[in-house]
Amino acid sequence: MREILGRRRRIRFGRRGGPARLDAALTCATAWRWPVLPGVGLQAADSRGDRARGCACPDPECAVPGAHPFDPGLLAATTDARMVRWWWTNRPTAPVLLATGGRAPCALSLPAVAGARALAEFDRTGLRLGPVVATPTRWSLLVAPYTLERLGELLYAQDWVPSSLRFHGEGGYLVLPPSEIGAGQVRWERAPERGSRLRLNGGRAPADAAPWLPDVGVVLDALVEASTGAPDGGSRLTH
């Protein structure tokens, strides 16, 4: 992805969480080679801290307040440490956005209640998951990169797919912890397993190796099976 400098805009942001977000962005970009960029963020609270905080973008009816690219745009996502430091030095409370697809992780997301049910089912069956990002409204399961063509083939092979599923692939993005968006705080429900690449000949993977990610086909099959396995014939993944 091309790397461009974002223009500084006169948008006020809150004051909390700056160092943690810079650290998170640098880890993603430089240690894991995940391209990131700052999200638009939320409006600053008033002096009493009780003003409703909408999106800092110009759209008063923004559907995903704080949780989308604005300036710079998605094509600016980068793994360059200098650029990442510049962005979060100037906008320390900006959400951390992962540009999904290409060589970066992709994700499947579903409503929070359904996500909790799915993870409980996966734990029961012993399915190994990668990182899971949680907001108060949706949970996202990170998976290995996939192409739109492969995703289409996987979906075509299924008799039925829960309508609550969303797919974050090439050309998409995902908000990463410890960001704050209009829906609330973004956190790790399952933290990345650092240094969890395959260990060859009993050796240890580097501490900064990118987190292990499952194949999208395995996760999709498991989600569909968990959904269609409800005793009453309904779906466990509805909300």
Query: Mind listing the pLDDT tens digit for each residue in 109-132?
Result: 999 999 999 999 999 999 999 999
Q: Cα separation of 182 and 121, whole Å?
A: 29
Query: Band of the pLDDT at 226, cuts 50, 70, 90?
Result: confident
Range of the domain at 89: 18-228
DSSP state, residue 51: S
Question: What ranges make up the beta strands (E) of the chain?
Answer: 36-38, 96-100, 106-111, 132-134, 138-143, 166-168, 172-176, 180-181, 184-185, 187-190
d(CA 66, CA 137): 14
* Position 5 in a domain: no
Q: Rounded to 10 degrees, what is the CA torsion of 220, 149, 138, 185?
A: 130
Pairing mode of beta strands 106-111, 132-134:
unpaired
Q: How far apart are CA 188 and CA 135, in angstroms?
A: 9
What confidence tens digit (pLDDT) does each residue in 30-77 have?
999 999 999 999 998 765 554 567 999 999 999 999 999 999 999 999
Global pTM reads 0.83
pLDDT band at 163 (very low <50, low <70, confident <90, very high): confident
Residue 115 forms part of a structural domain: yes
Region label for 153, one of left (φ > 0), alpha (ψ between -120 and 50) or beta (otherwise): alpha
pLDDT at position 103 is: 93
Residue 238 covered by a domain = no
- The answer to whether residue 12 sits within a structural domain is no
Domains in the chain, number: 1
